[in-house]
Structure formats: C-alpha cells, structure tokens
Amino acid sequence: MSDTGFSAGNGRSGLLTGARNSALALLGSGRTRLELLGNELKEEKLRAVRLLLLSQMLAFCLALGTILLVGLLVIVYWDQRVVILASGSVLFIAGSGLAYLALQRAMRRPDHLFAASLAQLEEDLRQLKRAAGDESRAD
C-alpha cells in the first residue's frame, strides 16, 4: 500500500514538475521570439530611414541640377531660349519619372517581412505537435 501512495505522490510531483518545465520552456521560447521580432523591427526601421534619406537626396540633387543646367543652357543659347526651356522641361520630367521607377524598385522587399520569426514559430509549432503526439502515445 505504501508503494501505491508513494507512486501517487510521485505522479503528482512529476505532473507539477512537467508543467513547470513546460511553462519555463514556453516562456524561454516566447522571449527568444520577441527578441528576434525586435531585431527585425530595428532592421526594417533602419531600412525605411535609409530609403527616406536617399529619396530626399535624389529629389534635392535632381531639382538643383535641373535649375543649374537649364539656366546655363538658356544663357549659352540665348536666341533659342524658348526651345531650350521646353526641351529641358520634357527631358527632366522624363528623368524624374525614371528616378521614381528606380525608387519604387528599391522599396520593394524581396523577402517576406518577419520571415525569420515566422519560420521559427512554424518550427516551434511543428515540435510541439510532435511532442504532443509522443506524449499521447506514451499514455
């Protein structure tokens, strides 16, 4: 009889230990995933700031270059100033369109946002399902 009471106590103790170990593993896994998510958010923020700065630099240089070049051409070819201003406007508007397309291409992200976090969560889910299947077979 004492064996039965002793094994029941061990069962209760084992159950609590198992639950505690599972909770600790879950908390550790959650912490790791949150850290990974935080790193990916930082990387995305840096990428967005970089794209913003590059686009602002592009717009400023394009505007200044346009003004200086058209002004120089008007001075050099004073007699044809209307033709130069019209063709310059068309040329630089087309150039701005190409720059816009290049910026759009740079802003497209080839990989999925938070891909590493999602892949790790999928792996965790797969392992939990496998562990649950092993435990159900053991019972």
pLDDT in tens, 76-89: 999 998 998 888 88
- Both tokens of 28, joined, read 């550790």
Element (H, E) at 20: helix 2-76
What local confidence, expressed as pLDDT, does residue 136 receive? 58
Bin 109: left if φ > 0, else alpha if -120 < ψ < 50, else beta.
beta
Q: Is residue 57 part of a domain?
A: yes
Q: Is residue 22 part of a domain?
A: no
CA 53 to chain centroid = 18
Residues 6 or more apart in contact with residue 25 via CB below 8 angstroms: none
Place of tokens 């592009």: 58
- Both tokens of 55, joined, read 């686009």
Amino acid present at 27: L
Is pTM beyond 0.95? Reply is: no
Q: Is residue 101 part of a domain?
A: yes
Q: Number of folded domains in the chain? A: 1
